[in-house]
């Protein structure tokens, strides 16, 4: 099995594990995955301002999102985090994302908890 990875630069795996939150529409067809990487390796690169997307890579291929924000500390003006959003627009896209997420979790020894608060 190929490695499962998240990348901001082609061929360079991000080592920092993100916090990921999912939201779904009431009909379950659309939704978003919010990623937050605190002090990610990608920010240590001199080229970090050239980040154009986040790439979720596994044995099925690559999922790409271009919705990227770089957080700046209010205290000292340093770049502290990368936030990314992956949006799905169908049950098929959601299922594909979840296959990636399950592989990524398994490879990195992660678990998830459901928050069903309304």
Domain ranges of the chain: 5-108
Q: How many Å apart are CA 38 and CA 89, to the nearest integer?
A: 27
Which residue do the tokens 């990921």 mark? 20
Q: How many Å apart are CA 16 and CA 96, to the nearest integer?
A: 22
Q: How many Å apart are CA 40 and CA 68, to the nearest integer?
A: 13
Distance of CA 36 to the CA centre of its chain: 7
Model's pTM, two decimal places? 0.87
Backbone angles phi, psi at 21, to 5 degrees: -125, 140
The pLDDT assigned to 82 comes to 93
Residue 84: CB atoms within 10 A of its CB come to 23
The pLDDT assigned to 72 comes to 76
- pLDDT tens digit sequence for 53-99: 999 999 999 999 999 998 877 667 788 899 999 999 999 999 999 99
- pLDDT tens digit sequence for 35-48: 999 999 999 888 88
The pLDDT assigned to 33 comes to 96
The CA radius of gyration of the chain, in Å to the nearest whole number, is 15
| 3-state secondary structure (DSSP) of residue 28 | coil
* 5-108 fold: Elongation Factor Tu (Ef-tu); domain 3 (2.40.30)
Backbone angles phi, psi at 93, to 5 degrees: -65, -40
């Amino acid at each position: 099995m190929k490695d499962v990875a998240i990348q901001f630069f082609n061929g360079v795996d991000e080592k920092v594990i993100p916090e990921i939150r999912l939201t779904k529409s009431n009909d379950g067809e659309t939704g978003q995955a919010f990623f937050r990487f605190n002090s990610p390796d990608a920010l240590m690169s001199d080229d970090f301002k050239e980040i154009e997307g986040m790439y979720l890579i596994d044995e099925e291929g690559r999922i790409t999102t271009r919705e990227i924000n770089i957080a700046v500390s209010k205290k000292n003006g340093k770049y502290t985090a990368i936030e990314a959003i992956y949006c799905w627009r169908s049950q098929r896209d959601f299922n594909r994302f979840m296959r990636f997420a399950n592989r990524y979790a398994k490879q990195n020894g992660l678990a998830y908890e459901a928050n069903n608060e309304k």
